[in-house]
Structure formats: structure tokens, C-alpha cells
Amino acid sequence: MIKRMLIMLILVGVVLGGVFGFKFFVDGKVAAFMAGMGNMPQTVSTTKVTSTDWQTELQAVGSLRASNGAELSLQLAGTVEEIDFQSGDTVEKGKVLLRLRSDDDVAKLKALEAQAELAQITYDRDLRQFKAQAVSQQVVDTDAANLKNAQALAGQQRAIVDQKTLKAPFAGQLGIRQIDLGQYLSPGTPVVTLQALSPIYIDFLLPQQQVAQVKVGQKVTARIDAFPNRTYEGEIFAINPKIEIGTRNVIVRATVENEDHSLLPGMFAKVDIAIGAPRKEMTLPQTAIVYNAYGNLVYVVDESGKGPPGADGKPMLTVQQVFVETGATRGDQVAILKGVKDGDTIVSSGQMKLRNGAPIVVNNAVVPKDDVKTPRSIEP
């Protein structure tokens, strides 16, 4: 009986020993594999810390409007007799665009002008007779009043005739014609839009805290979604002398040259206003910064040649974590105030796989954007 129990205990011990031995073997292999993975070089892209001219800017989103713009219409009703323009024409101030049928009004004007001429003749004759003491002062006064009344009636009718003709109130570009020949127009019916496109205005809002940083004549740069590769230079034309109570913003107007008429009223624009003097700042792409609760850090590439040997036997590059103090941003760039020096090589992408002392392989075939001006979608 005792012998049998000893045999069973020995068998159980052998089984347990095999189980624990196998687990120890597997754990060792896994640890060795993970250690090998930790020493495998990670592929990253890199960039250099560079000092560039940094211009502090205010940014705003504005709306374009013409320096002069109007929907042209007539004050009087009538039938269109003549159209003297084509859609899209560029016209000068005073150009006749449209005439309404005005035969009756012209005839009435001629009758009133004839009455005014007769009143003038009567007044002149009676005035000579008054000097010869042939008529009284009352007759001359009545003639003068009749003359003024006749001239006023003729002037009123002349204004009515003139209002049957539509002229361009300023130079600009016409839009799409909205009426046709022979059409009856009611007073105020839109005929065509006229827009003066050069120069063109940009109206935008700035918070009241920034009012002291802008002034008339200050340079601005505008970018439009429709033309992402172009910038438009201009300057501040006027600052509204009133803060909007609801938003605590101030309306600012800038003027931009638009000789090719590429900018149209109603477009939205991103406006940059340069403030202060340019200064030198060390910059990095924003993708190079690892943001966390303990502070912002970057991975600096150690190019001393003291890294572990690679597959070819040569020392591999390694990285070290360095905490940095960041400043303002512009486009894809961020200013670095402390932590690195000019010329340091910094990992710009692939940081999630890295740790202190990790070996790396640099592949800069594709690198993150590092543009000073980053076009972005602008929505109303």
C-alpha cells in the first residue's frame, strides 16, 4: 500500500515538473522574442530643427464685397423698348443700359416746354411794358409766378422721361440680364447687377482684445478656397468705430487689388494680419511633437555612432526623449522655445513605436507637411 502511494506521488511530481518546466521554457522564449522585438529598428521620418523668420499674425475669416455694387432697376413702370448691353459687359459710368417706351411722356414734355416758353415771352413783354409804366406791378408778379410754375412742370416731366432710361451709376462689370425686350417692368424690377470688382473689399471680424493690434494701412494677406495656390496682398482700409455688443467683435475692412476680376463678391477668405516685427524662431512640424499630460516631448536622433550594431555590423541610429517648450503655431509649424538646438535631427513621424534608446531606420521618402501657410477649407 505504501509502495503504491509512493509511486503515485512520484508520477504526480513528474507531471507537475513537466508542466512547470514547459511554462518556464515558453516564458523564456516569449521574453527572448520580445527582447528581440525591442531591439528591432523602427522606421521613422526625420527633420532638422531650423531657425526661420517668424512673423506673428492674427487670423480671421472674412467675406468679399464689391467696392460698389447694386442691383439696377427703374423707379417707373413701362415696357422695355431698347436694351443696350450684354450679360457680363464691363461698362463705364453713365453708360445707357436700357430704355422704356416713353412716347407719351416725351410728347407731354414738349407741351409743357412750349407753355414755359410762352410764359417766358409773356413775362419779358410785360416787364418791358412795366418799365414804360404801361402795366402794373401786379401783372409782372403774376407773369413771374406763371413762368416759374411752367418751368417747374416742364422740369418734373423731364425727370419722368429721364427715369425711363437706365444708366450705369458707376463703372463696373454687369451680371446676367434678367429682363427681355418688350417685357413690361413694374417699378423696382431687377434688371441686372453691377459690381465694381477692382479693388475689392474683405470684411472680417476681430475680437475686441485684438483691436489695439491693428490699424489703418496695415498689410494683410488673403487666401481663397477657390484658388488654393494664390495669395492676395492688401491693406486695412477702415476699422468700425463700434464694438458689436452681441459678439464683442469689431468689423474690419481691408482692400485688395483684383485686376483680373478673379475675386467675386460673396466669397469667403482666410485673412492673415501681420503684427509686430519678424523674429528668429526654431521651428518643427507639429507632427514631431508628442503631447501628453507630463509635458511635450520630441525624439532626438543620436548620430554619434554609438548605437547597437545592425545587420550589416554598422552602428544603428538611436533616439532619446527630450522635453520641449512649445510656442505659437503657424500653418503646419510650431515654434520651439526650449529643449533642442538649431540643427538637431528630430523624428517627425513614427514616434508611437519609440522609447528611449530605441534603434531606428530613417526613411524620408514621405514626410509630414511643414508649410508656413496651410490652406484650409473655409465655410460660411
pLDDT per position as a tens digit, 86-118: 999 999 999 999 999 999 999 999 999 999 999
Residue 280 is predicted with a pLDDT of 84
Complete domains list, the chain, with CATH: 39-54+280-362 (2.40.420.20), 58-67+193-274 (2.40.30.170), 102-163 (1.10.287)
CA-CA distance, 74 to 206, in Å (whole number)? Answer: 39
For the chain, give the number of residues.
Answer: 380
At 59, which amino acid appears?
Q
CA-CA distance, 245 to 117, in Å (whole number)? Answer: 60
DSSP 183: -
Q: pTM of the full predicted structure?
A: 0.64
Residue 206: how many CB atoms within 10 A of its CB? 20
Residue 193 is predicted with a pLDDT of 95
CA-CA distance, 182 to 194, in Å (whole number)? Answer: 22
Torsion of CA 161, 163, 164, 168, to 10 degrees: 130
Q: Which residues of the chain have pLDDT under 70?
A: 1, 3, 6, 9, 12-39, 310-313, 370-380
Residue 35 is predicted with a pLDDT of 47
Phi first, then psi: give them for residue 281, nearest 5 degrees.
-140, 140
- pLDDT tens readout for residues 256-283: 999 899 999 999 999 999 887 778 888 8
Residue 185 is predicted with a pLDDT of 94
Please report where in the chains the cell 502511494 appears, as a residue: 5
